[in-house]
Structure 1
Amino acid sequence: MSAIVTPDICDAYPEVQVLDPVFVNFGGHEAFCGPVRTVKCFEDNSLVKEAVAEPGDGAVLVVDAGGSHRCAMLGDMLAEQAVDNGWSGVVLYGCVRDVDVLAETDLGVQALGSHPRRSDKRGEGQRDVAVTFAGVTLTPGQWLYADNNGIVVAEERLDLEG
């Protein structure tokens, strides 16, 4: 696959959905893509921890954390686990922490912001469900493409060659 450039994707594939521009790049990879896998949770990252412990196979973990700015849902340890298990990236509709370490991590990470407080661990939430935030509904199996220009979602993997 050639380089991910979301403006070029939008030009070549006008049917892609574009997430509202509310995300900030925190990961060591500024551009990333992969099939979508989802977690829906609020101020409890138990299911995020569970997901990154499993084989990612190049997927992007999309986390609907309800847009909370009161705690972080991903930090350096979970990001390292995501790298070790082959995840391409994480998109969080919520916050991250350990941002200096995340910037050096071999993972794409986009989130709303940073927050130093960790989340609760109550085992609450849902996995592999449709999630809606930033003006788009994302479902498992769609393809997500992200770079410094934004995040786009397609129904299937796009041919970005040529």
Structure 2
Amino acid sequence: MKPITTDICDANEARLADGSLRVLTPGFLHFGKRVAFAGPAATLKVFEDNSLVRAALESPGEGKVLVVDGGGSMRCALVGGMLGVLAEKNGWAGIVVNGCVRDTDELKTCDIGIRALGVHPQKSQKRNVGQPDVTVQMPGAVVRPGNWIYADADGVLVSDEKLPGA
């Protein structure tokens, strides 16, 4: 079943009120073939360096969503076509980037969901700097490893746990 964020919000008003279900700030753009996707979060905190993004996507995704806090940088891309193909090949459900992507024509052929703040043609640095599996502050919501991500054309939700029926 594909996530329908509006229905999830309507059915979980108490969770929205207590903060166990959160909505990322509107404005994330859609890339990748899948408009709707869901899965448990794997998190990364990086800044203008996608070395750990590649390392994460080289591992089995097992239906997870990689949530990348790139600090909102609009100065380079953290995900490109090669990483999109890698994510699809290794079974990731999606990628959410607080930053930019590139190679959009290649990304739209990848059978995963991808959300990002924008597009930038320049690649990132490769310094192997960053933190995996940490709590990250994404626009509008905190995301912890293992939180559930639900995304579709209407937005991106973060839940402390997998929601029944979603």
TM-score by length of 1: 0.96
Structure 1 residue 22 displacement after superposition: 2.1
Structure 1 residue 73 displacement after superposition: 0.2
SS at match of 1:47: helix
Question: Equivalent pairs: percent with the same residue?
Answer: 51
From 71, 94, 97, give the equivalent of 2:102.
97
CA distance in 1: counterparts of 2:114 and 2:131, whole angstroms? 21
Letter aligned with residue 154 of structure 1? S
Q: CA RMSD in A?
A: 0.8
Listed one character per residue, the Cα deviations across residues 31-67 of structure 1 (whole Å, up to 9, x for unaligned) are: 0000000010000000000000001100000000000
Cα contact 1:22–1:134 (8 A) shared by 2: no
Equivalent residue, structure 2, for 1:67: 72
Superposition pairs for residues 80-159 of structure 1, below 5 Å? 80-159=85-164
Equivalent residue, structure 1, for 2:28: 23
Cα contact 1:53–1:85 (8 A) shared by 2: yes
Runs of 4+ residues over 6 Å off in structure 1:
none
CA distance in 1: counterparts of 2:150 and 2:156, whole angstroms? 6
Listed one character per residue, the Cα deviations across residues 10-44 of structure 1 (whole Å, up to 9, x for unaligned) are: 00112121111020001110000000000100000
Equivalent residue, structure 2, for 1:46: 51
CA distance in 1: counterparts of 2:2 and 2:93, whole angstroms? 14
Letter aligned with residue 41 of structure 1? V
Which stretch shows the higher mean deviation, 58-67 or 98-107? 98-107
The number of residue pairs the alignment matches comes to 160
Structure 1 residue 3 displacement after superposition: 2.4
**Are positions 1:6 and 2:5 aligned together?**
yes
Letter aligned with residue 23 of structure 1? F
Cα contact 1:60–1:87 (8 A) shared by 2: yes
CA distance in 1: counterparts of 2:34 and 2:23, whole angstroms? 20
SS at match of 2:117: strand
CA distance in 2: counterparts of 1:60 and 1:130, whole angstroms? 14
CA distance in 2: counterparts of 1:94 and 1:39, whole angstroms? 12
CA distance in 2: counterparts of 1:4 and 1:145, whole angstroms? 6
CA distance in 2: counterparts of 1:160 and 1:99, whole angstroms? 32
Unaligned runs of 5+ in 1: none
CA distance in 2: counterparts of 1:137 and 1:110, whole angstroms? 16
Cα contact 2:46–2:70 (8 A) shared by 1: yes
Unaligned runs of 5+ in 2: 16-20
TM-score by length of 2: 0.94
Cα contact 2:2–2:37 (8 A) shared by 1: no
CA distance in 1: counterparts of 2:150 and 2:36, whole angstroms? 8
